[in-house]
Structure 1
Amino acid sequence: MRFRTTVQNVLTFYRLIQTVEKLQKKCIIKFSETAMRIICNHEEGGVQVWSKIRVDALFTEYRILSHSNNEITLNLPTEALSTALRSASAEHTGANEVVMKLAKKNNLPVLSFEIFGTTQMGRKVKVAHDVRIEVMKPADVAMLTEPRCPEPDVQIMLPPLAKMRAVVERMRNLSDVIAVRANSSGRLQLSASTEVVKADITWTNCSHPRIAADGASQANGGDVDEEQEHQRERERLDSNNLFSVLVHTRSFLKFLNAHTVSKTTIACICQGHCLILFVYIGDSADVGGVLTFYIPSVLDN
């Protein structure tokens, strides 16, 4: 098993890990010949992240070799990985080359980072960080499955996540639960309420792009009988009909930490079931990858 690459886009890699670090203490990273997948599937409260990032969006001189179809899957601590990438970030150290590779230290597997840089005095320096890892067995990797969800009732482009985050931070003082509503006429609404106060924030003229094929393939699998599906289809055709899902405010804020990497974000509401959010990385003309968040619905008592 061999793996070695140069991290070309250190800042984006750091921001990706910084986002998942706020979700859980460990994550799974699966490297293949063409893509890197970051998976968070055990967060308390049910939020999951499944991502796919093109190799050429982050790395150069990429070499991988294994007996499992040239795939290597690692379980590793997000805080240690975030620390290593923060040190490697050009905005912190002036690094001009960052090499990431599999290695062994004291006979234990590590993901090793070698950071080559230059001081302000012009002296060349090398900094090393080792992140302890667990190499997952193929049988355990095969058990990793992405959530299966019903067909979304509505899809809508979200406004800039940083602005939404500021709004939701204030709503958190009102309620532990927030309602996310949207319709096919471009209306998006966030609502939080108590017994005496209710707050509604509404955006209009939001666009309705279709999600990419990879995302669409995940939005299925719900068990809905034929009459229920016909009713849902009639509701979808009514452009003024608002579809809604209740989610924990804390979970929604964790998703909004992705504002550091988001260029475009599409929300899919599966009414009464879940909220699916596709955070696209890179410019629309050259999408480098996507972070897919699954936030389960809170039962409305």
Structure 2
Amino acid sequence: MRFRATIQNVPTFYRLIQTVEKLQKKCIINFSETSMRIICNQEEGGVHVWSKIRIDALFTDYRILSHSNNEITLNLPTDALSTALRSASAEHTGANEVVMKLAKKKNVPVLSFEIFGTTQMGRRVKVAHDVRIEVMKPADVALLTEPRCPEPDVQIMLPPLTKMRGVIERMRNLSDVIAVRANSSGCLRLSASTEVVKADITWNNCSHPRMTGDNPSQARAGAEDGRGEEDREPEPERPDPTHLFSVLVHARSLLKFLNAHAVSKTTIACICQGHCLILFVYIGDSTDVGGVLTFYIPSVLDD
């Protein structure tokens, strides 16, 4: 088993792990020949993450070899990984090359980070960080499954996550449960209430993206598909575009998701009414999506 890569985009990798670190103490990272997956299988009732990032969006000189279809899956602590990447991304290190590789130190498997930089005096220096890991067995990897959800009732482009975070932090003072509502006319509404007061925050004219195929990176904000009217298949009857579909979620779960503001440029929310909220955080520019962080937030049962 061999693995080695030069991290070309250290800041983005660091922000990804920063986001995951806020969710749980450990995460699973699967490396294959074409992609890296970051997986957080949170305890029941928590936030799940299942992401996929293109290798060329983060790495160069990428080499992987294993007996499991050239895939390697690691279980590792998020705080130690975040510390290593923070050191590599810090401006004062003068880092000009960061190499990540599998190694063994005192017969303990580690993910080793070698940071090569230059001092102000022009001397080349090397800093190393080792993150202790568990290499997962193929049988255990096979048990990892993405959460199964019904077809979304509506999907909508979210406003900037930093703005949403401020709103939800204030709403949490009213209630730990927040209703997320949206319709296909571009209305997004967040609601929190108590026995004596209710607060609603509404965004109008939000884009209503289409999710084509099974790949969320193919989402398009209302763009036409280019076919003529005579080539289109008859569309099923659509529900009232002003009808608001809703899901109740814990405010703390939303706030955990909103830590993704550090990496998000475009975020799409999908509401599966009464079941869950699915959030796609796109990495990179809209014209060159490097990957997607997918968050699953389960619904709170409405008694």
TM-score (norm 1): 0.92
Q: Quote the RMSD (CA, aligned, Å).
A: 1.7
Contact 1:181 1:242 in 2 (8 A): yes
Q: Deviations over 1:193-217 (max 9, x none)?
A: 1111211100000011123534569
Instruction: State the match for 1:4 in structure 2.
Output: 4
Find the aligned partners of 2:46 and 2:214 in 1 and give their Cα distance: 22
Deviation at 1:160, TM superposition (A): 0.7
Q: Distance in 2 between matches of 1:269 and 1:170?
A: 22
- TM-score computed with the length of structure 2 as normaliser: 0.91
Pair 1:300-2:302 in alignment: yes
* Aligned mates of 2:121, 2:176 — CA distance in 1: 52
**Which consecutive aligned stretches of 4+ in structure 1 deviate over 6 angstroms post-superposition?**
none
Post-superposition offset of 1:184: 0.4
Within 5 A, what are the aligned runs for 1:163-174? 163-174=163-174
Q: Which residue of 2 aligns with 1:119?
A: 119
Q: Aligned residue for 2:228?
A: none
Letter in 2 for 1:267: A
Q: Secondary structure at the match of 2:201?
A: strand
Question: How far did residue 124 of structure 1 move?
Answer: 1.6
| 3-state SS in 2 of match to 1:20 | helix
- Residue 253 of structure 1 aligns to a residue in which SS? helix
**Letter of the 2:170 counterpart:** R
Work out whether 1:24 is the aligned partner of 2:44. Answer: no
Task: Give a deviation string over 1:36-65, Cα, whole Å, max 9, x none.
Answer: 000001246321000000000000000000
1:279 matched to 2:277? The reply is no
In structure 1, C-alpha distance between the alignment counterparts of 2:288 and 2:91, rounded to whole Å: 24
Gaps spanning 5+ residues in structure 2: where?
218-234
C-alpha distance in 1 between matches for 2:61 and 2:213? 29
From 243, 261, 264, give the equivalent of 1:262. Answer: 264
Give 1:121 shift.
2.7
SS at match of 1:164: helix
For each residue in 1:167-208, what CA deviation from the matched residue of structure 2 results, as whole angstroms up to 9, or x when unmatched? 111111111110000000000000111111211100000011
> Does structure 2 conserve the Cα–Cα contact (< 8 Å) formed by 1:24 and 1:43?
no
Q: CA deviation digits over 1:145-172, x for unaligned, max 9?
A: 0011011000000001111111111111
- Give the 3 Å change call, closer, same or farther, for CA 300–290 of structure 1 in structure 2: same
Q: Output aligned runs, 1:168-183, within 5 Å.
A: 168-183=168-183
Structure 1 residues not aligned, in runs of 5+: 218-232
Structure 1 residue 205 corresponds to structure 2 residue 219: no
> Equivalent residue for 2:137?
137
- Deviation (angstroms), 1:279: 0.3
- Counterpart Cα distance in 1 of 2:238 and 2:98: 49
What CA distance in whole angstroms lies between the structure 2 residues aligned with 1:188 and 1:215? 24
CA contact (8 A) 1:90 1:96 kept: no
Count of residues paired in the alignment: 286
C-alpha contact (below 8 Å) 1:154/1:236 kept by paired residues: no
Partner of 2:229: none
CA positional deviation for 1:98: 0.1
Structure-to-structure mapping, 1:210-289, within 5 angstroms: 210-211=210-211, 213-215=213-215, 237-289=239-291
* Residue equivalent to 2:73: 73
Cα deviation for residue 261 of structure 1 reads 0.5
Question: Quick one: structure 1 residues 140 and 193, their matched pair in 2 at CA, closer, same or farther if it must change by over 3 Å?
Answer: same
| Rounded Cα–Cα distance in structure 2 between residues aligned with 1:264 and 1:216 | 12
Distance in 1 separating the partners of 2:286 and 2:267: 11
The answer to whether the Cα contact below 8 Å between 2:216 and 2:280 also exists between their aligned partners in 1 is no
Map of 1:33 onto structure 2: 33
Aligned partners of 1:78 and 1:261: how far apart in 2?
16
Aligned to 2:150: 150
Q: Give, in whole Å, the separation in 1 of the partners of 2:214 and 2:131.
A: 31
CA contact (8 A) 2:279 2:296 kept: yes
The 1:28–1:161 alpha-carbon spacing in structure 2 relative to 1, beyond 3 Å, is: same
**DSSP 3-state at the match of 2:289:** coil
Deviations 1:216-275 (A, max 9, x none): 69xxxxxxxxxxxxxxx9995200100000000000000010001111100000000000
1:262 partner SS: coil
Instruction: Report the alpha carbon displacement of residue 106 of structure 1 after superposing the two structures with TM.
Output: 0.5
For residues 37 and 5 of structure 1, the distance between their equivalents in structure 2, rounded to whole angstroms, comes to 15
